[in-house]
Structure 1
């Protein structure tokens, strides 16, 4: 098992310390004095953001999929043509300088729709101020991906009139994050730590299977493995894989399957999980199952992301990699 001294040796920017405080960060964000906005007559919400900010849009799209509100997640430069006066465009950039998200913000400002921006400062804040657009400043904590809980719970509080999660469910999610923290944080570097167990098991290229309602967790897990552990990853919908991806296992490879499952997945989805298990067992393919907590969709997704993100930090440490630097992203951004 990994020792704390080894974590400190390789995690030079102390990312693990921030993750140890995720439940506290989330609670403080929800209890903050951030001012809510009551947008009226909204039937379409567009979430625009890249990377970790894009995962925030994926999360809220999953939540709103249970309502009559249509959602679109934009990870690029263009807004959908369906944007109208009943649309709310939510732009999120932790740095405030993400060029793709700034392009959608500028485009939204010229349309007859509602708009709000979330950032730590940067060009987004100044653009919103100059164009009389609602904006909320939310601090960056360590890095955009590590800032996930402060942004999620601040946006939840700001847009509570649009995102219909009652206070009881939010409190439940905070409690479950706190309970999970005691199991996965750097204070429990033992075989009972599920994040550490997953990191110790990982060897090869992960293939992450997920059900439709938990797609945000798979995308986030992929992103965090790529950024923290500098690892190639594949993600596949469990229903779709039975029509194509399953054939890939007919050849030997270094791929390792990970199944992200919800405690109350659709009965047909549960049937697919069982078939996939049988297939792997019969073909002697080792796999890992990650089960969500019980509770609402917010608790399920947030706790899965917390567990899986921490696993990517531990995996980076096992590979003797500092999880914080993203030199390739810095290279890419300088060229834009």
Structure 2
């Protein structure tokens, strides 16, 4: 593979370093936040920053903390001074997130803002808003582990996620790296094998707990491989989406399954797989790692993100440029 010739900005090198970036970010000496009696956290961010909110929503789903994710301009009306609003913009210049930050400031809520600088840092410094500067690597989407593990570090006093669980997820990243990085371009590389299989539009099925991995896979296919993608909840799809398979299609189903999915979800997977086999529809099953929901999600995201880089290279596409997004930004 001509990785270095096609990936001109060497995105792959950042992904090769994801476990190290995660480890350093989690152990960095940030000033942690320690607000009392936080029962509602709102995570605001777009794109890669939005993925972080999706991940926190999943890992806090079985705790007493209610999580909202805002991908847009407006805070929920239920947000008040007892909530914590976490605004994340890797660049610091995301228009939607800056708008949410201003609304949170006007509502006098508790705020934590994170960026690599930009307008967000300036806004927070001028108003005395709680701000943390986090290192950007290559691009917002490549900076996921830097921002995610920095946030797990900074929010540690108020979120019930143990150090052991976070350390477990980092070790899983290290294990996965040995299998999928550019140092192992063999048939044993599951990310490369999946990239070689995708030759049309993937339809990514997911259970509720793995939604953030599915969204991230779709986003990364679109940004890195410039490839259309669709996502569907496996349970909801059983009531509508599955009917579309009555017609022959070039759409490619990919099933993201969790090691410890809910028993009824496992039943649904088996039924869907049986249907695909009966209809002779070629499909792929991607199973998560064992462990906590954080370990499952970050492991899946690592492998699937790498798949999108390989898909770009195989298609002779530089994964870094995002020209249509720049077109939109210039018009805002």
Q: TM-score range by the shorter chain?
A: over 0.9
Checking the alignment, whether the CA contact within 8 Å between 2:256 and 2:287 is kept in structure 1 is yes
- 1:130-149, Cα deviation, whole Å (9 max, x unpaired): 11110000011000000000
- TM (norm. structure 2) is 0.99
What does 1:22-101 align with in structure 2 at a 5 Å threshold?
22-101=18-97
Q: Which runs of 5+ in 2 are unaligned?
A: none
Q: Which residue of 2 aligns with 1:189?
A: 185
* Candidates 204, 211, 223, aligned match of 1:208: 204
- Tell me the equivalent position of 1:127: 123
Cα distance between partner residues in 1 of 2:155 and 2:96: 23
Aligned residue for 1:163?
159
Aligned to 1:325: 321
Q: Distance between the aligned counterparts of 2:132 and 2:16, measured in 1?
A: 26
Take 1:120 and 1:273, find their aligned partners in 2: how far apart are those partners? Answer: 41
Q: How does 1:205-244 map to 2 (within 5 A)?
A: 205-244=201-240
Contact kept? 1:128, 1:135, Cα under 8 Å? yes
Give the C-alpha shift of residue 163 in structure 1: 2.3
Moved over 6 A (4+): none
State the Cα distance separating 1:161 from its structure 2 match.
Answer: 2.1
Shift of 1:34: 1.1
Which secondary structure does the structure 2 equivalent of 1:236 belong to? strand
Question: Match for residue 141 of structure 1?
Answer: 137
Q: Provide Cα deviations, 1:168-212, integer angstroms capped at 9, x if missing partner.
A: 111111111000000000000000001001101111100000000
| Residues paired across the two proteins, number | 332
Tell me by how many angstroms 1:166 deviates. Answer: 0.6
Judge conservation of contact 1:217–1:304 (CA < 8 Å) in 2: yes
CA distance in 2, matches of 1:309, 1:244: 28
| Kept in 2: contact 1:93–1:101 (CA 8 A) | yes
Tell me the alpha carbon deviations over residues 80-114 of structure 1, each in whole angstroms, 9 at most, x when there is no partner.
00001220000000000000000000000011310
Q: Name the Cα RMSD after superposition.
A: 0.7
8 Å CA contact 2:33, 2:158 repeated in 1: no
**Superposition deviation, residue 121 in structure 1:** 0.2
Contact 2:225 2:309 in 1 (8 A): yes
Per the alignment, residue 293 of structure 1 pairs with 289
**CA contact 1:46–1:72 (8 Å) conserved in 2:** yes
Gaps of 5+ in 1: none
Measured after TM superposition, the shift of residue 154 of structure 1 is: 0.3
